[in-house]
Structure 1
Amino acid sequence: DFYDGAGDDPALTEATQWIESIINDTEPVVKPEQALVVTRILEAIYKSSETGMPVFFD
């Protein structure tokens, strides 16, 4: 199924899916490791924007 997200609150959708994965003992749609990678990328974008320098990952 295709999920276009129209009309849904993203934070509520994410929280609902996370809670359902705990209750049903299933894998979450977005795994914590994936969320960490995205967070690190976003932090690097902000840092690069502030410093005007590229940010490299190990």
Structure 2
Amino acid sequence: MFAANFDVAGIRLPDGAPAARWIRRDGPFNGVLPFRYLGADDLAGPSHTGRPAAHSWYEPSPL
């Protein structure tokens, strides 16, 4: 079982656009996501909870 408090606003594409429109999953998942990790920006500011956050940068990639 995987459980997380995941703020999709912190996931960015290379052009800086939020990737939230790309991320959706209902039900169980066994597989890989079609993204390649590029790095993180720790100057993103506070999250929705007010705690420090980072934006993670990804680019779409073929499976």
**Greater helix content:** 1
Q: Relative CO higher for 1 or 2, CA cutoff 8 Å, sep ≥ 6? A: 2
- Alignment TM class, shorter chain as reference: under 0.3
The TM-score with structure 1 as length reference comes to 0.24
